[in-house]
Structure 1
Amino acid sequence: MLDSNPTNKNWEIPTLITNFTNRLEAIKFSFETILEFIELNQNKLDEEWTNLVHPLLTQEKTETEIKVKLQVPFDQLPHFKKVSKSSLNYGLSSPLVKRTFIISLVSEFDIFLSQLIRIVFYIKPEILNALDKQISFKQILEFDSLDSVKEYILEKEIETILRESHTEHFKWLETKINIGTLRKFDTKVWEDFIELTERRNLFVHCDGIVSSQYVKVCKENSVHHIESIEVGKKLDVNKEYFHKAYSSVYEISIKLAHTIWRKLKPEEREEADADLNNLGFKLITEEEYNLAIILLNFALSEPIIKKSNLQAKFLFILNKAQALKWSGQVGEMEKLIHEQDWSVCSDEMNLAKAVLLDEFDKAAKFMELIGNNPEKLSIISYRQWPIFKKFRQTQQFKETYQKIFNEPFEMVTEISPLIVGADKEEE
């Protein structure tokens, strides 16, 4: 049997999630950076082209029309051609580059999915053991151990699964893990995800030109507005579409991984809750509020969160509340907070609640109750947590902070150079 507890941490779900989200964020960063560079240089080139061409234009009037001629001096012709070629290259590069990033998003999901399926086999080796696979005696002799044979069969099975459509991938997981909700997280994100994967296929195989297969698959999955897209139309990518695609891949992957994790490893529920809360918190610090709210709604849904785990539940609530507040949905934030019974919560939780409601006098009193107690709330938390960012600007906070820690609060934070880039992928 395959080892159900592999020592390699790269084959654990939390490590997979961390590596995947880091890579996805790198794609988003690259998209924004490269597009900004292309647009900046395109604008400079347009200005150079205008300045180059304008003095060379002449007008010729006739009785019926005005003809515009471009006369390029021979000695300026090489530079003229160079600028013209560069302008053409930039005009072509922008749509090509944007397509490439859509292809990269889907490729990262496929890599993530193959690794997730491998983890499923590790956790539930009986799935692999139940496969009716044939292998010749000659092939067996080429392996040095039975484990190598099993690894070969595993690789072949994963390859077989991944040759199918993305819909079939989810169906396979539903059947093997006995979960019936993987495609029902949110019908909208499923529609967006399927359209994205089909558009990726168009970019790879058809130069972005809509095929009957694209329309068929999108209709089968009730993709919104598919009726308005005709066969033969050429699809492209703009910034809005990329960010929607990024969010849908991020959302559906995290929900998939956490659903499987909690199903196959129920004893790791506390670790899974902490991982999901940390992910929501990370998105908040990066000001990805809408995506944070989506994942925190998922975290608070049944059967993800158990009512017995009040600590995790209230951390999810506080993170969702601050995401709502910082995204301008103050009314929704207040409604969420007032729906809860905070009498069962710690002073730290009630401090966070008071801060979110802008009850700063009350918040200062909770700070004094907690005191200088790193086990409850560290000085770093007061200085860096986004939930305190408005409170930190008040006189109540500064006075109470100095009273507790015997030092003035300065809006400056030193970051050790050793910390920078510390969250890279694990080797």
Structure 2
Amino acid sequence: MADVPSSLSHGGRGGATAIRTRDGRGPPRTTGRGPGTAGARGRAVSRILIVAGEVSGDIHAGNLLASLRDIEPELDAFGVGGDRLAQAGLDCVARSEELAHMGLVEVVRELPRLRGILRSVVRTAEQRRPQVAVLVDSPDFNLRLAARLGKIGIPVVLYVSPQLWAWRRGRVRTVRRLAREVLCILPFEAGFYEEHGVRARYVGHPLLDDLDRDQLLDDPPQRFERRLALLPGSRAMEVRQLLPTMLEGLAQLGGGEVAEAVLVEAPGVSDVVDEVLGAHPPDPRLWRAAGDERRRAHASCGLAWTASGTATLECALLGVPMIVGYRLRALSAAVARRLVRVPHVALANLIAGERAAPELLQEAWNPAQLVAATRSLAAGGADVQRRALREVRRRLGDPGASRRAAEAVAEYLRSADL
């Protein structure tokens, strides 16, 4: 497999690095207002389309919209979102959860319904004429939407970059054609896009904003070394694939190894967690943490078993050593093996530039190997991993991603000739 782009230091600490291509893409440098209805003071109201797929995309986009309202108080926002975007004032045409699918095969099954959502969003955009569309995550859906929006003259900014550096790199040509700019949240992504002629900037990772707001970055709670965090992911299918193995592994570890376990629930998966727990014998050591308490509970743990995505960055930033699991259905996994071009699956390992945390993939994600890896970390590997993961914090930089992303989007809202 090919290496991850080497520009891991791109953007540095806290800095959002603007990268311009020679074709003049990006917001025009005019200062007039775009189309919109008149506000209370007679000036045009800015209008934006935001489409966020999945729970994590909804959270990131919701924080961006909240920051954008500090800059543009009379902003009219509509699109596809979940609870966080709705809380920030998005008029929802459809729900983020309707775009959340884990595997390639699973997406195919949902195509008719996804096409219906696509048509609805485009029809609404034609009627309401936003000055810019911010498309977050869900690249299979959002790149198709970007093509349709381009045909009706609505400029597109991508926030939370499609992971083209990992697989399906040929789509970078599509991004170059369809997007005015990509706002990147991983430090090596801007360099990758720059190499392919795409305007991009690293704005920082919004998870830093969340942890800083919760006062967990520099002032974590007391840690209990024999408390284990279970983080089975933010998608229903992910929870079904990972949580049963976690529960079976926990049952094989005695109280002297794991005194208690915390099931850290992502928003929107409680029903699936109930379903999986109901199919397994109860464990008196296990308790659940959701909502505002889940991150503080996570930070108090001495070890985590986690899905491979953003949760690995949360572990790294909180200083919680981890074992990473990843499992797709057989056909999706077979396709992924042919297409994925990175040496690690876990985001934390990619940013660290080494396999700091063990990864148990596909068939290796089983109770026996999970227990063995846990005992290895308890025997001294956890301290080694903590030292390696400090590099993740350094490379991600400082909080402020949502504000920097909002300032980038505001450049488009303030431009008249889009």
TM-score tier (shorter): under 0.3
Greater helix content:
1
Normalised by the length of structure 1, the TM-score is 0.23
Greater strand content:
2
- Rg larger in structure: 1
Normalised by the length of structure 2, the TM-score is 0.24
